Amino acid sequence: AARHVESNCLVWPVAPPAKLDGYTVSPRVSNLDSSDDGSDEGDDAEQSEHLERQRGFALVLPAVFASGIMPGLGGPGAYAAWMVVLCVGVPAVILYSYTHRSVDHGLLRNFTSVGLSSSIVPLMHAILALKFLFLVPLVVTLRVLAKNAALDAAFRAELKSRTGANTRHFVRGCMWVLGVLSLTICFSETKYRSFSFLFHVAIWIRQLICFTSHMCFLTVWRVCATKVGRLREKVAEGSDRPEFWKDMTNEYRHLVEFIDDVWRKTGFSTSLCILFVFNLCFAGYVGAIALGDTSLWSKLSPAFWAAKQILVVTVGLYLWANLHSMCNSHRHAKKSLRYLAAEHFGRVPQDQVRDHEAFLHCLRELQCGVEAASTPVVS
């Protein structure tokens, strides 16, 4: 049997021959198993090479974001095209829609028939023009963020960590939810025939920019949150190693620097704050239209727009504040860095007491969170 296997089967010896009832028998592993192992190694190498070729958001976002057509995430040509569309094309479309379509198709008549002011139509077009104007710094900061070296390194480290798969699932789940919501909003906003076809195209462009910025916002927030989460796990476990609390202090300082680098220094948080303020103003505007309308059915569409603007601001500010709470909250249920570090009182070795107190002092004085250009840390 041994000679038959030796001459007719493709097998690989994995251990020295053993004696069994006077015969020499070699333990074997089939060629199929060995081939599978080589295939897995090849797949891992191919995936690693693929990660090396990608940069920025292309590492974690789906392939459509790596194609170069999304606002702020493409090459110089795509970036210049988006700037021309936002700065020249969209204002021209809004001006054309106001001068040729609003009166011809009875948009003004629709509002004045329910007792609203005749100035509502020019005000509506002016607000939409401002909305697109405020999207310009958002696209600019998206490009700066996509080229950020610290964020690129954080993406690579996150994908290689044990939470990398969960981050991918989180990003894909957000993409599907935001995609469905964006399509629903677009169809609801373009159902009015009072606006021209080009005006509807401008609405789709605005929604695409908002979708891209929301995905980038959630992706960056997720990476920041997982970095805070890993530091919380280390602090919760503790260690008797002499340099442990010094290392935790340095790691926390680097974490604060990273969050400030990707949010404030890139201008991303500032451009989002501008849009948040504008969203609240726009919510008040469409809310006034809803209150001024006499028909209950006609109130639903402006009320939906107002609720959408308020929801975007609320969720954005909550996620920002959550990063600060994960580090400095006093609530027992939150299990913040500060709370977990304070739980080690009385258990820290004598030679590490000063380092432990220095870590707590650093948590109090060096606030971790998102800042804008002229605002304190959102908490």
Domain range list for the chain: 163-365
pTM of the entire predicted model:
0.78
Which whole-number Å values give the CA distances from 91 to 124, 128, 188, 198, 225, in the listed order? 13, 9, 22, 11, 38
Compute the Cα dihedral for 231, 232, 234, 238 and give only its sign: positive
Q: Which residue type does 65 have?
A: F
Q: Report the pLDDT value the prediction gives residue 24, as an integer from 0 to 100.
A: 45
> Using an 8 Å Cβ cutoff, are 57 and 159 in contact?
no
Long-range contacts of range 87-96, CB-CB < 8 Å, 24 or more positions apart? Answer: 87/136, 89/202, 90/129, 90/132, 90/202, 90/205, 90/206, 91/129, 91/132, 93/196, 93/198, 93/199, 93/201, 93/202, 94/125, 94/128, 94/129, 94/132, 94/199, 94/202, 95/125, 96/196, 96/198
Q: Report the pLDDT value the prediction gives residue 98, as an integer from 0 to 100.
A: 67
User: Nearest CA to 171 among 80, 245, 36, 63?
Assistant: 63
Q: Report the pLDDT value the prediction gives residue 323, as an integer from 0 to 100.
A: 94
Using one digit for the tens of pLDDT, what is the confidence trace for 179-202?
Answer: 898 888 877 776 666 566 777 788
d(CA 4, CA 171): 55
d(CA 337, CA 349): 19
Q: Report the pLDDT value the prediction gives residue 84, as an integer from 0 to 100.
A: 86
User: Nearest CA to 373 among 265, 275, 214?
Assistant: 265
User: Which residues, including other chains, have CB under 8 Å from residue 312's CB and lie 6 or more apart?
Assistant: 276, 279
> Using an 8 Å Cβ cutoff, are 292 and 116 in contact?
yes
Q: Report the pLDDT value the prediction gives residue 20, as an integer from 0 to 100.
A: 44
3-state SS class at 3:
helix
User: Nearest CA to 53 among 138, 152, 200, 158?
Assistant: 152
Q: Report the pLDDT value the prediction gives residue 15, as an integer from 0 to 100.
A: 46
d(CA 284, CA 303): 10
Q: Report the pLDDT value the prediction gives residue 2, as an integer from 0 to 100.
A: 72
Using one digit for the tens of pLDDT, what is the confidence trace for 3-49?
Answer: 666 666 655 444 444 444 444 444 444 343 433 444 444 445 555 55
Beta bridge partners of 11: 30
Beta bridge partners of 30: 11
Which whole-number Å values give the CA distances from 149 to 101, 261, 285, in the listed order? 47, 10, 40
For the chain, which residues score pLDDT lower than 50?
Answer: 12-43, 103-104
CA angle, corner 12, sides to 11 and 15, nearest 5?
135
